[in-house]
Amino acid sequence: MSSPRIALVTGANRGIGRAICAALIQQCTGPLILYTASRAGASVDLNGLSIPPAVQVRPAQLSLTDQASITALSTMIGSEHQGCDILINNAGLYYFQENITTAQRQETLDVNYRGTLNVCQAFLPIMRKGGRIVNVSSQSGQLKYFHPRLRAQFLKPDLTLDELDALVSEYTRLANQKAATASGWPPLTYFASKAAVNAATRILARENPHLLINCCCPGWVGTTLGAQAGPPPKSVEAGAKIPVRLAIGNIGRVSGRYWANDSVASAADGKVQEW
């Protein structure tokens, strides 16, 4: 019997993350050990889904703002399995208002951008050749919401992680002074955090050509997060489609790209888009 594929999904306890886990269990061919990470570290309720004998589902504790928990999980998976094949960074948060506190702004950047990047960096050393990383981003990170000067900075072909950090720091300083929108940034911190995720995805893909590293928008999906903006048109199952395709589906050798549907209401399985 072939050795099992090792997969980790963050934010697996609810919303799109839980639907991603259910789809992986149903669609993955061959043996699979799936780590379902959540802040509480509890078993994920998969709504009575029957688990095939070749699949093991294991709960894991992970908080994106706690580097020790990120390191501990990558160390555990590395020592138990000597590698990881699939990492889906799905966990995220959205304060759906312009006037958030400095602490809420910092939390948004720490979870969506810094936390996602920290998980990538902790797992990169144990990702097996041909492994896939999927960063669940958002159409909110599209550069059409940013001033052309910032667009050019995000899209610089040789942008480094240090330069990206500096850009995020510049945003934070301006936003804390209530001067970000006048400087060409979008009004909501969530947008800046997801643009940074997309840029980090491109950089990590460039630096790790042995892996397929992509990001995506799942669409507008009926979850706690998605329902803040009104009644979402998509189910969690439809929202899981693009992330699952990027993790186990046919995407050729595409890496470092942003995947989405033409409309956030579409339940298609995504295509490469400019962001």
Q: What is the H or E stretch that residue 89 is in?
A: strand 84-89
* Residue 141, amino acid: G
Q: Which of 220, 258, 259, 275 binds ligand NAP (CB under 6 A)?
A: 220
Least separation in angstroms between residue 12's CB and ligand NAP is 7
In this structure, are strands 127-136 and 5-9 parallel, antiparallel, or unpaired?
unpaired
Tokens 């009575």 belong to 48
Determine, following the binding rule CB under 6 A, whether residue 217 of this chain makes contact with ligand NAP: yes
Q: Which of 4, 27, 31, 39 binds ligand NAP (CB under 6 A)?
A: 39
User: Is 189:172 a contact under the CB 8 Å cutoff?
Assistant: no
Three-state DSSP class for residue 28: coil
Active site residue 190: yes
Q: Quick count: other Cβ atoms within 10 Å of Cβ 177?
A: 10
Determine, following the binding rule CB under 6 A, whether residue 67 of this chain makes contact with ligand NAP: no
**Contact letters (x/-) for ligand NAP, 77-116, by CB under 6 A?**
-------------xxxxx----------------x-----
Determine, following the binding rule CB under 6 A, whether residue 186 of this chain makes contact with ligand NAP: no
Binding residues for ligand NAP, total number by CB under 6 A: 29
Q: Which of residues 221-260 bind ligand NAP (CB under 6 A)?
A: 221, 223-226, 232
Selecting among 35, 94, 190, 258, the annotated active-site residue is: 190
Cα(256)–Cα(99) distance, integer angstroms: 32
Q: Under 8 Å CB-to-CB from 21, ≥6 apart: which residues?
A: 9, 12, 34, 36, 44, 46, 57
User: Helix, strand, coil % (nearest 5) of the chain?
Assistant: 45, 15, 40
Least separation in angstroms between residue 60's CB and ligand NAP is 11
Q: Of the two residues 65 and 183, which places its CB atom closer to ligand NAP in the complex? A: 65
Q: Which of 36, 74, 118, 138 binds ligand NAP (CB under 6 A)?
A: 138
Cα(74)–Cα(62) distance, integer angstroms: 10
Least separation in angstroms between residue 144's CB and ligand NAP is 16
Interface residue list for ligand NAP (CB under 6 A): 11, 13-17, 38-39, 62-65, 90-94, 111, 136, 138, 217-218, 220-221, 223-226, 232
